[in-house]
């Protein structure tokens, strides 16, 4: 049994305090530890908890780990918003290098796009960063000691928790001359460290609040302190202490939802009689008071204004403190101003942002803010991650179809996509490539946006010199030409599907689609794509309806599709997200009829913005998925074994081609010879019997010699153009870190869908057996042992390979047979 040590767990003690002189000494020795601004703190806090690299849709991007909610086991994780976070981090980072006050940052997007979660996680990172002592944050308090042998003392903190450097006046009268103590300190430090220290503009000009200045002035004017210099006063009365930020106590972090809370309020410090007596001994006649308000609480840290423009009763007067803060970096108190260093982040919806012009009589605030779009996700894998987290409890109480969340995510993302309509092209694009771009259908765009690179290292290293990721990597000390270091950072999504595996693209199309193609596709409609469509909250409502309309035990994809169709019938009166502005449809030609898998959609059906048609699209995608799963379960061969067969076949075609080339066979044959992985013998001639057996599956109607020559030429051509890459020092058989299966996915798919002849198995009887097992189990037991074994093997494979609950595996096969998604006679030959 484990032992819980409460004394150790709750062993926190107050941080050490320093005399003012010790603080100065430490600052002179290590000035960088004391010159943090709110923006540099935030930027470092985000980076401190590390990051990964995601290569999606041809674009590498930094994925900071704090957004996985590492603080609360993923409860509030933000998925797929790397582009918005990149913009936000860049804006915060640049603010730390600018000379003027920080701009206000506005995260703007549709409801439930993750705006508030992004800020909440940054807030948690900032708080924990300061508590981990990864950074030293110092403030100060005035310590007044009782006289006459009393051990009692009184500590008075400034509400602003100023940096002790602000105790050095910017200007001071000394005799008949004026000096600049803070500047002289900085000059000394600058010289001592040979010009390597950068002093943020804020520290050159910032001043203490009026209350703190009044206390210092009162101490100087006290007759008992006559003759003491400012330094003597600070050394005697000031103690410097490390501080940490606290969201709960509003120290360095403030969260508000009302602009009125920006105003600074003043209240007298409530003291006991004894404390008042101590205070009167040191600063007689001085009023001690404290300031309250969001701007004060957030000094040196983060001010988050939630739903900043969401109330139509806000007046221009309510915005004035924010205007002053963003305009001058100060806050108005007691007929004067105090310097503050806040990073202001606002979150608001698109509609609320539009109200801003109506609420203000000028554009002063708009000039001081930077908008950062946070739209709905366009990556289906990230949408799935949200559903997995939020619908986790569903798996506890129900048997759930393993494809349910994937299909839900596919539909949601497709409702948000906009059609390609580019008219200007990169100069090196062929006409075929241009035509393919504008002909990309909604389901193809879905997979292009979710696609993760087969060779992410190559994608990164081939980036154009101007690509912003290169600068990001430089700031994070990443060497883009260190494969081992990069490989450790590259994050691959476990549910990502390659374009070849999707089954939607021909070989000719795959040859035209490169990283640049995908980057251009994403950039065309940024930042507008994802502003409309179904939100994840609304999607979760549909999921709940799906559960409530299930049989109480099992939740099927079919039930979800039925709920989508019901929702489409109800229309935009009940589901507001359907009433989008489809102005782009006026210029768009009718989409021609097309096939998705085995099923055909009519002309114009399933186009961008056609929500009813998109239900048919996602249904067809579902049919493709279960077709592939049931086929693989029926074929009952490990896909790795099938991959080995294909690789062996390709190597043999290269050998056969080399032998045909009599003039260079003495060079080419050794190049394509290999050591057999099983026997260990050298192979320098093709196994014709093996090749013929595979060709009966992959090319039954083709002339074997012509087909082998065609495959070899395709491989060599792709290798020459760089479209196919093989692991260095390996041949096709031994290589693994390559894209061979992507380039020859059509052959691989044919091999996956073929099962060797099984004695005693009739395809029609097998089909009927599934129906009887579901509807009449006693009759099912009358089938032959071979048929029943085959049924059980297929179901077992679906359970083990694809995560189906056994009863849902049976339901899915029966559903696929009823809808003619699969045909056993095509698999068993």
pLDDT confidence band for 159 (50 / 70 / 90): very high
Mean local confidence (pLDDT), 115-131? 95
Q: Has residue 821 been placed in a domain?
A: no
240 and 311 inside one domain: yes
78-92, 148-162, 477-491: least confidently modelled range: 148-162
76 and 176 inside one domain: yes
Q: Has residue 7 been placed in a domain?
A: no
Q: Has residue 579 been placed in a domain?
A: yes
- Is residue 310 predicted with pLDDT exceeding 80? no
Torsion angles phi and psi, residue 286, rounded to 5: -90, 130
Among 594, 624, 654, the domain-final residue is 624
Mean local confidence (pLDDT), 175-203? 91
- Is residue 327 predicted with pLDDT exceeding 90? no
CB within 8 A of 169, min separation 6: which ones? Answer: 181, 182, 230
192 to 164, 185, 188, 203, 238: CA distances (angstroms): 20, 11, 6, 18, 26
Which H or E element spans position 165?
none
698 to 596, 707, 749, 825: CA distances (angstroms): 21, 10, 9, 17
Reported as a single tens digit per residue, the pLDDT across 64-95 is 999 999 999 888 999 999 999 999 999 998 88
What gap in Å lies between CA 511 and CA 745, rounded to an integer?
A: 12
Predicted pLDDT of residue 730: 83
- Is residue 433 predicted with pLDDT exceeding 60? yes
82 and 172 inside one domain: yes
**Full-model pTM:** 0.86
Q: Has residue 788 been placed in a domain?
A: no
Among 624, 652, 687, the domain-final residue is 624
pLDDT confidence band for 387 (50 / 70 / 90): very high
607 and 666 inside one domain: no
- Three-state DSSP class for residue 782: coil
67 and 122 inside one domain: yes
What gap in Å lies between CA 255 and CA 30, rounded to an integer?
A: 33
Among 374, 409, 436, the domain-final residue is 374
437 and 303 inside one domain: no
135 and 213 inside one domain: yes
Burial class (CB in 10 A: 0-12, 13-18, 19+), 699: middle
Q: Which two tokens stand for residue 492?
A: 């691959």
Q: Which residue has the tokens 């939740």?
A: 555
Mean local confidence (pLDDT), 806-828? 91
Q: Has residue 819 been placed in a domain?
A: no
368 and 385 inside one domain: no
655 and 548 inside one domain: no
Reported as a single tens digit per residue, the pLDDT across 125-138 is 999 999 987 788 99
Structural domain containing residue 511: 380-456+492-624
751 vs 51 pLDDT, higher one:
51
424 and 525 inside one domain: yes
543 and 616 inside one domain: yes
The domain total for the chain is: 3
Q: Has residue 605 been placed in a domain?
A: yes
Q: Has residue 223 been placed in a domain?
A: yes
Please check whether residue 546 is in contact with residue 560, taking contact to mean a CB–CB distance below 8 angstroms: yes
Q: Has residue 237 been placed in a domain?
A: yes
342 and 398 inside one domain: no
């Amino acid at each position: 049994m484990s032992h819980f040590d409460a004394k150790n767990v709750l062993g926190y003690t107050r941080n050490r305090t320093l005399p003012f002189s010790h603080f100065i000494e430490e600052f002179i020795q290590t000035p960088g530890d004391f010159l943090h601004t709110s923006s540099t703190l935030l930027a470092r806090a985000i980076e401190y908890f590390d990051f990964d690299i995601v290569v999606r849709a041809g674009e590498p991007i930094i994925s900071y780990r704090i957004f996985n909610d590492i603080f609360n086991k993923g409860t509030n994780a933000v998925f797929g918003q790397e582009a918005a976070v990149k913009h936000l981090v860049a804006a915060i980072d640049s603010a730390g290098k600018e000379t003027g006050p920080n701009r206000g940052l506005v995260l703007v997007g549709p409801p439930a796009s993750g705006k508030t979660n992004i800020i909440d996680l940054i807030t948690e990172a900032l708080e924990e960063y300061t508590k981990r002592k990864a950074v030293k944050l110092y403030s100060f308090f005035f310590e007044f000691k009782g006289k006459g042998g009393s051990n009692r003392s009184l500590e008075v903190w400034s509400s602003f928790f100023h940096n002790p450097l602000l105790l050095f006046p910017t200007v001071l009268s000394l005799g008949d001359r004026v000096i600049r103590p803070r500047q002289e300190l900085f000059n000394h430090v600058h010289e001592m460290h040979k010009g390597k220290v950068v002093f943020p503009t804020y520290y050159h000009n910032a001043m203490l609040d009026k209350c703190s200045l009044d206390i210092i002035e009162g101490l100087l004017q006290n007759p008992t302190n006559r003759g003491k210099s400012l330094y003597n006063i600070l050394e005697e009365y000031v103690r410097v202490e490390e501080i940490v930020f606290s969201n709960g106590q509003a120290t360095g972090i403030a969260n508000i939802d009302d602009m009125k809370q920006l105003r600074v309020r003043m209240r007298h410090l409530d003291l006991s009689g004894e404390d008042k007596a101590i205070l009167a001994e040191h600063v007689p006649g001085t009023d001690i008071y404290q300031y309250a308000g969001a701007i004060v609480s957030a000094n040196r840290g983060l001010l988050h204004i939630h739903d900043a423009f969401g109330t139509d009763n806000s007046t221009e007067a309510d915005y004035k403190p924010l205007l002053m803060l963003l305009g001058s970096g100060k806050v108005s108190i007691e007929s004067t101003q105090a310097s503050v260093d806040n990073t202001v982040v606002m979150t608001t919806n698109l509609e609320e942002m539009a109200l801003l012009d109506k609420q203000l009589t000028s554009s002063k605030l708009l000039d001081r803010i930077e908008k950062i779009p946070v739209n709905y996700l366009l990556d289906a894998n990230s949408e799935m991650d949200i559903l997995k987290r939020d619908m986790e409890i569903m798996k506890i109480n129900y048997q759930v179809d393993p494809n349910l969340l994937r299909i839900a995510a596919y539909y949601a993302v497709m409702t948000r996509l906009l059609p390609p309509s580019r008219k200007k092209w990169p100069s090196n694009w062929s006409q075929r490539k241009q035509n393919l771009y504008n002909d990309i259908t909604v389901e193809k765009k879905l997979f292009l946006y979710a696609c993760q690179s087969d060779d992410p290292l190559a994608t990164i290293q081939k980036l154009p010199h101007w690509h912003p990721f290169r600068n990001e990597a430089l700031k994070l000390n990443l060497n883009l030409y260190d494969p081992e270091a990069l490989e450790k950072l590259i994050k691959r999504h476990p549910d990502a599907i390659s374009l070849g595996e999707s089954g939607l693209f021909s070989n000719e199309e795959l040859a035209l689609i490169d990283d640049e193609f995908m980057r251009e596709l994403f950039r065309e409609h940024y930042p507008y794509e994802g502003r409309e469509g179904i939100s994840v909250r609304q999607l979760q409502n549909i999921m709940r309806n799906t559960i409530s309309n299930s049989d109480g035990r099992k939740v099927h994809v079919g039930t979800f599709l039925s709920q989508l169709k019901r929702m489409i019938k109800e229309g935009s009166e009940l589901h507001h997200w359907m009433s989008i502005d489809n102005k782009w449809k006026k210029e768009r030609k009718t989409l021609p009829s097309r096939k998705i898998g085995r099923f055909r959609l009519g002309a114009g059906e399933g186009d961008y913005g056609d929500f009813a048609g998109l239900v048919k699209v996602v249904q067809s995608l579902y049919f493709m998925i279960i077709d592939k799963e049931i086929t693989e379960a029926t074929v009952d061969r490990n896909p790795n074994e099938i991959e080995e067969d294909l690789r062996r076949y390709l190597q043999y075609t290269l050998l056969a081609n080399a032998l045909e080339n009599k003039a260079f066979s003495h060079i080419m044959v050794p190049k394509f010879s290999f050591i057999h992985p099983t026997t260990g013998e050298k192979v320098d001639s093709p196994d014709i019997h093996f090749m013929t057996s595979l060709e009966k599956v992959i090319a039954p109607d083709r002339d074997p010699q012509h087909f082998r020559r065609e495959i070899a030429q395709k491989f060599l051509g792709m290798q020459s153009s760089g479209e196919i890459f093989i692991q260095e020092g390996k041949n096709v058989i031994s290589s693994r870190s390559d894209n061979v299966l992507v380039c020859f996915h059509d052959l691989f798919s044919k091999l996956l869908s073929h099962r060797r002849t099984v004695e005693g198995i009739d395809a029609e009887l097998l089909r009927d057996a599934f129906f009887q097992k579901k509807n009449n189990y006693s009759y099912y037991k009358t089938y032959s042992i071979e048929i029943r074994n085959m049924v059980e093997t297929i179901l077992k494979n679906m359970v083990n390979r694809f995560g189906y609950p056994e009863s849902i595996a049976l339901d899915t096969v029966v559903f696929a047979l009823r809808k003619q998604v699969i045909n056993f006679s095509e698999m068993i030959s």
